[in-house]
Amino acid sequence: MRIANIDGRLTIVATTDHGIDVERASGGRFAAEPTAVFDRWDEFSEWAAGLEDIAAEVELRPDRIGAPSPTPRQIFAVGLNYRAHADESGFSIPDSPVVFTKYQSALTGPNTTVRLPSGGHTDWETELVVVVGRKASAVSEDDAWGHVAGLTIGQDLSERITQRSGPAPQFGLGKSFAGFAPTGPWIVTPDEFADPDDLGLGCSINGVEMQDGRTSSFIFGVPRLISYLSSIVTLLPGDLIFTGTPSGVGMGRDPQVWLKPGDELVTWIEGIGELRQSFVA
């Protein structure tokens, strides 16, 4: 199953260009607001599995698609989760997940125009994003996938000057400028993948490939991240976990490269789709 946010309404993706409005199809049983469904994920999944002969009347135009979980209560992000990215960043391989947060105000849908901070060094980071579907506290790795609603794509856009400012790193601020957390285009449930632990992902800028990796290269896979995070905090339905980026970011290049006005960034993950960001001054 794939679910999307179309004009702020929860929609099941039925074909490549049309979907089913959930509130209308369920006779009001489920609300239109996309994030509300995660608190009733088991009930919703059972209902959706039994849908028959429902007309897919919602047009899935790119300009109508919003963030699939638009108001998560928590957004976690994991750094240095690929060995090659840790190497290019000049860090040793971590012994446990390196976790920071992005702020909800940075969250957007998949097709956006992003204003670059003046005088900054804005970088790209392609990431698989986990959407939590069930409340998780002290979850074992064996049970972790059972707490996942689905997977989507994210860009952890990062303003490196702000990120490095001050006596301690400012990860949360440097990665939370307006528009710095595009996600989408929809959430894909784990059963849709042959192997949800091994997905290709990458990005290009103006048609030139910048990143190309596989999630099977994670240092800490999705089950480990959910188990680790839930041992410390309670994960809530609709929460997002950005799982880290492969090598190929601008900061790791020689010379370093930053996003500039006029650039188009296309981000993709196998079996999910793509994001498109354009940048202005």
- Same-domain status, 192 and 266: yes
Mean pLDDT of 99-114: 98
Of 34, 66, 98, the domain-final residue:
66
Of 66, 87, 113, the domain-final residue:
66
Q: How many domains does the chain have?
A: 2
- Same-domain status, 82 and 40: no
- Same-domain status, 159 and 140: yes
pLDDT, the chain, mean: 97
Question: How confident is the model over 177-232, as pLDDT tens digits?
Answer: 999 999 999 999 999 999 999 999 999 999 999 999 999 999 999 999 999 999 99
- Same-domain status, 58 and 89: no
**Sign (positive/negative) of CA torsion 143, 125, 186, 268?**
negative
Which residue type does 16 have?
A: T
- Same-domain status, 97 and 55: no
- Same-domain status, 115 and 57: no
Which residue type does 3 have?
A: I
- Same-domain status, 113 and 220: yes
- Same-domain status, 52 and 155: no
With 90 as the cut, is the pLDDT of residue 166 above it? no
- Same-domain status, 37 and 171: no
**Which has more pLDDT, 92 or 208?**
208
- Same-domain status, 168 and 239: yes
Radius of gyration for the chain, computed over Cα atoms and rounded to the nearest angstrom: 18
Q: Which domain holds residue 14?
A: 2-66
**Sign (positive/negative) of CA torsion 226, 230, 232, 236?**
positive
Three-state secondary-structure class, residue 141: helix
Three-state secondary-structure class, residue 41: helix
Per-residue tokens: 53: 């002969």
Of 46, 66, 86, the domain-final residue:
66
Indicate which CATH number applies to the domain containing 247.
Answer: 3.90.850.10
- Same-domain status, 91 and 204: yes
Q: What is the pTM of this model?
A: 0.97
With 90 as the cut, is the pLDDT of residue 52 above it? no
